[in-house]
Amino acid sequence: MRQEIKDKKTETTEPEPEEPQNPLTKKFTEAEWEALKELRTKLPYIFETSFPEKENKLSPIILWGVPIDPSNPVGDARVSVVLVKFLRARELNVENATNMMISTLKWREEFKTDEVVTEEFPQDLFGSVGHVFGKDKDGRPVTYNIYGGDKDIAAVFADVPKFIRWRVQLMERGITLIDFTNVDSMVQVHDYEGVGLRSRDANSKAAASQASKIFQDYYPEFLSKKFFINVPTFMTWIFWLFKPLISANTLAKMNVVGSGTATISEALLPVVDARELPKRYGGEAEAF
């Protein structure tokens, strides 16, 4: 009789839905899978807390081009990739990742990131300061920030809120080239050629501080590598001064490179193919 009851239970037990996979999810560790499954259960709470003004707080949203439905977070492997980014940014602590995701969704709602993506900015002011161009050898987009040369840097940073909105737009433009299937991060190159002590006014410092906080708090694990090139000596010292405050994980992604095409290309070409690298940095590409 007991055996018969056991068999009936076995017959009525539904198998767990098959986990959708892509090349990125196949690299998840067991600890990441465990944390991910727990974070999925928090999604209704995350949505309800993030969107208190919405009539239907649990309606699906699109985050970085990926539809996320709190009632069905298992249907798309890309959702798993996005959620794991929050977990990795908080060392797989589910509670901290939950809070980070809530903060991110609230900020995006308040900042109106959907609008900033299509916002128009003065090309004479920002057109030559930032570029999304080419990909690295693994298919990650490369973003270039150029703060030196003959640009009127004081004018670029004169309106800090406007600069921040433009800088967020540049970040979002790079993310549109990330598929969350094969790649989930980007490469950044910051060019400081011609930047001097006088360039570091109050506005530029405030803009740098605000931008750094935004990307640290609301864009989890989007940085694969960051190169600081044509760095003047005084900025090298600033970098080393702040080194103890930077996490080991972030520090491993950062490279401070000297000046000159040969020096820069030696650092960039192992990461970016010559055909994708602008000529000004020792590559073959006709770029900005």
Residue 280 confidence class, pLDDT cut points 50, 70, 90: very high
Provide the mean pLDDT of the chain: 89
> What is the value of pTM for the model shown?
0.89
The per-residue pLDDT for range 86-132, each reduced to its tens digit, is: 999 999 999 999 999 999 999 999 999 999 999 999 998 999 999 99
Question: What is the reported pLDDT for 8?
Answer: 45
| Cβ proximity of 158 and 152 under 8 Å | no
Name which residue leads in pLDDT, 19 or 150.
19
> Coil, strand or helix: which one is 191?
strand
Q: What separation in angstroms does the CA of 218 have from each of 109, 113, 210, 215?
A: 12, 12, 12, 5
| Cβ proximity of 255 and 225 under 8 Å | yes
Residue bearing tokens 């901290």:
96
Question: Which run of H or of E encompasses 61?
Answer: strand 61-63
Judge whether residue 2 has pLDDT over 60. Answer: no
- Based on its alpha-carbon atoms, the radius of gyration of the chain, rounded to whole angstroms, reads 22
Judge whether residue 244 has pLDDT over 70. Answer: no
Query: What is the spatial distance between Cα 44 and Cα 61, in angstroms, rounded to a whole number?
Result: 12
Judge whether residue 7 has pLDDT over 80. Answer: no
The per-residue pLDDT for range 126-185, each reduced to its tens digit, is: 999 999 999 999 999 999 999 876 567 888 999 999 999 999 999 999 999 999 999 999
Judge whether residue 237 has pLDDT over 90. Answer: no
Long-range contacts of 215-218 (CB under 8 A, 24+ apart): 215/171, 217/100, 217/103, 217/104, 217/107, 218/103, 218/104, 218/107, 218/108
DSSP 8-state secondary structure symbol assigned to residue 244: G
Question: What is the reported pLDDT for 232?
Answer: 77
